[in-house]
Each structure stands twice: as C-alpha cells, then as structure tokens.
Amino acid sequence: MGSLLQIVFDALSLGSLYALGALGIALIFGVMRLVNFAHGDVIAACVFALLWPSVDAVAIVFAGNLPWFLLIPFVLAVGAGLSVLSELVVFRRFRRANPATMMIASFGLGFVIRYFLLMLFSSRPKSISLLPTLSQPVEILGARIPLLQLITILVTVAVLFGLTAFLRRTRFGLEMRAAAENFTMARMLGVRANRVIMGAFALSGALAAAIALILGSQTGTANIMMGANVMLMAFIATVIGGMGSLAGAVLAGFLLGTVATVMQVILPPDARAFRDAFVYGAVILVLIFRPQGLLSARGTKERV
C-alpha cells in the first residue's frame, strides 16, 4: 500500500513538472505558432538568477537567501521578464516568418542563454540549498512522501485552476483564447496583437520559473543543462496533447510522468537504464495511432 502510494506521488510530481513545462510551450505556440526551444534555458537561467556569477564549484548565493515570500516572486519575475525580453528582442522580428524559421530562432536564443550562463558560472554543476525545509518527508498512510513532492503537486493544481480561471473569466483571457484560435480575426476585432503575445510570454516565463524553483529544490544543484530534459519531455507532451491545446498539454504531461514512473518500477533492473527509450517508444506508439494528438488542437489555421 505504502509503496503504491509512493509510486502515485512520484508519478504525479514528475507529471506536474512536465505539465507545467508543456503549458509554457503550448501557451506561446497557441498565439504565435512558435515552438520555443529556449524555454528550457529560461528554466536554467531562473535557477542561476539566485547566485552570484562565479566559476567556482561552490555557489555564492545571492537572492537564494531571501525568505520564501520574497524569493518566489523574485524568481517568477525573472522568468517572466526574461521571457518577455526574448519576445521583444528576438521573436518580434520573426512574427511573419514561417514556423520552422521561428523554431530555429528559438534554438539560437536557447544557445545564447546557455552560453551566457556558461560564461558566468562555468559548466560545473553547483550545489545549492534552495528552500531546504521542503526536503523533509511527511508520512501519509505509511508512505514517506517528501514534502516537496506534495507541494509540487499542490502548486501545479493551483496553477492549473488559476490559469483556467484567468482564461475563462478575464477580458485578457478571452482575448488570448480568441487570438490562439484565429489571430487575424481577433486583430480585426481590435485585439492588440502585441499585448496578447507579451502576456503569453510573461505567463510562459513565470511557469518556467515555477519549474526552476521545483527543480532547484528537488535536485539541490544548479546546472546549465537542468532545463533541457524537462523541455524535451514538455515538448513531447505538447505534441502528444495536440499542439496548441492547453488541456491536452497538461493531460499528456501527467501521462508522460506516469509512464516514466511506472516504467521505472516495472522494468527489470537491467533495463532501467534504458527507461527513456521505452518512454519514447510509447510516445511513438501514441503518435502512430493519433498523429493529431490526444485532444486535437483547434485553430491550427494559418496565421497571417
């Protein structure tokens, strides 16, 4: 019983990370048909924003010492700010470019961010202790669940509810949903393209920051590559979910987290090292039977 519960929590917390990442990608894809591969590097940048630049192995903590009620808004602001900045400096110039060009631009931007971090911090992973109280376990029905896992799941659920309410109940949310479906038509109804796109980037960046906080606390390290794995899984989740479908992205994120966790348990020990190969195999199977994604995306219509 206890170990089963453990698996459930593992799956949910890993799925939460993927779902948050997939949402960040799907939000931007929805309004501008851009697959933002720089998303993972924004995650890493958010973690490094807590440290002073140094190439030493020991991290010199800067904002990481702030109390949590300042630390969290600070990291969220860094993520949102960096993301909006990438829109202003890079992606705005590719508005009329085709999706492949935009995707390559996002790869370029990702490399720029990564090498900038490399220059300031070196490629050595640094150990940090972020929100250390969260690593203590709590007992639930005989299972010892790290507090952080619990919080990760709760935060993700809260984010999902908050985002849904925002999209359904606010004027900005309405405009964003309209723009995601038919950008040109929304503009012809007076919806300001730049505002909607910047809003999507800000939200996406804040989601990246949330992942950064979770990953940083979970692993206790800052590593310039730390966003890459989440980004890859999150991207796959948006594809499986149906590009542009937010609900699909979340669903597929949780599904991937579950599959990965279950594989870890049921695969014979010798095969566990190849877990990801099995996960990707499952992904291929899904896409063979549902190439349009689980929840087929609305409004993949051409945007002018």
Partner 1 sequence: MSLLALSNVSVRYGRLTAVRGVTFTLAEGEILFITGPNGAGKSSLLRAIAGVAPPAGGRVDFADHDITGQAPEDIARLGLSMVPEGRDVFGSLTIEENLMVGTGMHSATRGWKARAASELEAVYATFPILKERRHTQAGLLSGGQQQMLVIGRALMTTPRLVAIDEPSLGLAPNITDQVYERLIALRAERKLTLLIVEQSSTRAMMVGGRMMLMRGGEIVLDGDARALGQSEAMQAAYFGYGEH
Q: Which is nearer to partner 1, 80 or 297 (CB)?
A: 297
Q: Which is nearer to partner 1, 151 or 247 (CB)?
A: 247
Size of the site for partner 1 (CB under 8 A): 20
> Does residue 130 touch partner 1 according to CB under 8 A?
no
Q: Which of residues 148-177 bind partner 1 (CB under 8 A)?
A: 171, 174-175, 177
In the complex, least distance from residue 303 CB atom to partner 1, rounded to whole angstroms: 11
Nearest Cα to Cα of residue 43 among 60, 61, 62, 22: 22
- Please report how the helices 246-266 and 226-241 are oriented relative to each other, as an axis angle in degrees rounded to 10: 120
Q: Which is nearer to partner 1, 220 or 299 (CB)?
A: 299
Q: How far is CA 241 from CA 117, 238, 254, in A?
A: 32, 5, 10
> Does residue 294 touch partner 1 according to CB under 8 A?
no
> Does residue 268 touch partner 1 according to CB under 8 A?
no
- Please report how the helices 39-48 and 99-121 are oriented relative to each other, as an axis angle in degrees rounded to 10: 20
| CA dihedral for 30, 31, 35, 40, sign (positive or negative) | negative
Q: Which is nearer to partner 1, 96 or 141 (CB)?
A: 96
Binding mask 172-211 for partner 1 (x = CB under 8 A): --xx-xx--xx-xxxxxxxxxx------------------
In the complex, least distance from residue 200 CB atom to partner 1, rounded to whole angstroms: 16
* Residue ranges binding partner 1 (CB under 8 A): 171, 174-175, 177-178, 181-182, 184-193, 298-299, 304
